[in-house]
């Protein structure tokens, strides 16, 4: 998937070629904000942060080999707001990931999502176990944390792989959907896994990513990044044109399937970047981009309209 992209493997010499293979896909940084919780020793959250980081970074999620420079940079930010009896915590989780742009120091935001339905049980030093085929275990609250982390790990990997190869993320998205399918039916204590719990949650992310009606979205991810951003270092106009075509495809998807969650995810990650991409474009491209972006992402239309001035 990603390996062909990193020509640096050949540049750095024989030592790199002969070095052992690495399988871990993620380079995750974890932060935990728990200022609102006064009844728990802060050291518990330090222990939890270390455990979550090790869970994400030391596991092979796909079974494929990733060299250290190929690992996906991502951030998991837990904001714990409530503590209930028996070591149960509630709060939010912000998940972010990025991807390098070829021959540039710039990295492109791939995912920036706030999950507001986070609840789990944690006792200091308890192992973070995960079984993708039996999420609930004896206590859904104990397994919900690792289910959440694994779910977003697969979503991050899938989106990243889509950007390097057409439909490259399919296997990872199916893994994420399997976690959704195996979530407990009893949602009194945990939520975000079921269709009836809302229109913007984990269920709908994977539903959109694997929905045949939205399959062109995966082509958009590939065209936007490989044919667009990655080309701009030496073929600026060609790369920008590919991004404009990708936006036109998104507009067609939106016309047939309005208000899908997947478009919201895309523009939450890309709105600032898109303004920058077209800020120095020819006038006709600026006008076309502003029109498309204002239709697709109306919440940021004022920023896009600056392109026309």
- DSSP string computed for the chain: --GGG-THHHHT-HHHHHSPP----EEEEEEEE-TT--SS-HHHHHHHHHHHHHHHHSS-SSS----GGGSEEEEEEEEEEEEETTTEEEEEEEEEEEEEPTTSS-EEEEEEEEEEEEEEE--TT------TT--S-S-HHHHHHHHHHHHHHHHHHHHHHHTTSTTTTHHHHHHHHHHHHTS-S--SS--SSSGGG-SSSHHHHHHHHH-GGGTHHHHHHHIIIIIIGGGTTT-HHHHHHHHHHHHHHHHHHHHHSTT-HHHHHHHHHHHHHHHHHHHTS-HHHHHHHHHHHHHH-GGGHHHHHGGG-
User: What length is written for the chain?
Assistant: 309
Q: Band the pLDDT of 89: cuts 50, 70, 90.
A: very high
Predicted pLDDT at 187: 62
Distance CA 247, CA 296 (A): 9
Residue 13's pLDDT band (cuts 50, 70, 90): very low
Q: Picking from 85-94, 181-190, 260-269, 272-281, which range would have the lowest pLDDT averaged per residue?
A: 181-190
Q: What pTM was computed for the model?
A: 0.92
Q: How confident is the model at residue 18 (pLDDT cuts 50, 70, 90)?
A: very low
Whether residue 12 is predicted with pLDDT greater than 60 in this model: the reply is: no
Q: Look at 7-11, 277-281, 298-302 and tell me which has the smallest mean pLDDT.
A: 7-11
Are 92 and 114 within 8 A, CB to CB? Answer: yes
Judge whether residue 4 has pLDDT over 60. no
């Amino acid at each position: 998937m990603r390996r062909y992209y990193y020509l640096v493997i050949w540049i750095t010499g024989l030592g790199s070629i002969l070095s052992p293979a690495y399988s871990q896909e993620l380079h995750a940084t974890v932060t935990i904000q728990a200022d609102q919780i006064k009844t728990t020793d802060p050291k518990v959250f330090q222990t939890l942060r270390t455990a979550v980081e090790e869970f994400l970074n030391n596991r092979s999620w796909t079974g494929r080999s990733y060299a250290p420079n190929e690992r996906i940079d991502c951030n998991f930010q837990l904001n714990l707001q409530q503590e209930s009896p028996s070591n149960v915590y509630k709060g939010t989780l912000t998940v972010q990931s990025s991807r390098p742009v070829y021959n540039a120091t710039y990295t492109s935001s791939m995912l920036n999502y706030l999950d507001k339905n986070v609840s789990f049980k944690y006792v200091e030093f308890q192992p973070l176990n995960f079984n993708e085929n039996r999420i609930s275990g004896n206590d859904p609250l104990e397994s919900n944390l690792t289910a959440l982390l694994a779910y977003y790990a697969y979503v991050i990997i899938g989106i990243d792989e889509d950007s390097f190869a057409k439909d490259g993320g399919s296997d990872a998205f199916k893994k994420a959907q399997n976690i959704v399918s195996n979530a407990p039916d009893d949602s009194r204590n945990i939520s975000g896994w079921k269709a009836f719990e809302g229109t913007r949650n984990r269920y709908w992310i994977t539903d959109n990513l694997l929905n045949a009606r939205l399959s062109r979205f995966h082509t958009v991810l590939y065209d936007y990044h490989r044919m667009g951003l990655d080309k701009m270092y030496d073929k600026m106009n060609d790369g920008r044109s590919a991004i404009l075509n990708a936006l036109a495809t998104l507009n067609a998807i939106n016309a047939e399937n309005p208000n899908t969650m997947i478009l919201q995810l895309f523009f939450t990650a890309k709105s600032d970047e898109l303004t920058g991409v077209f800020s120095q474009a020819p006038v006709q491209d600026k006008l076309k981009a502003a029109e498309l972006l204002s239709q697709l992402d109306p919440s940021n239309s004022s920023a896009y309209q600056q392109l026309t001035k």
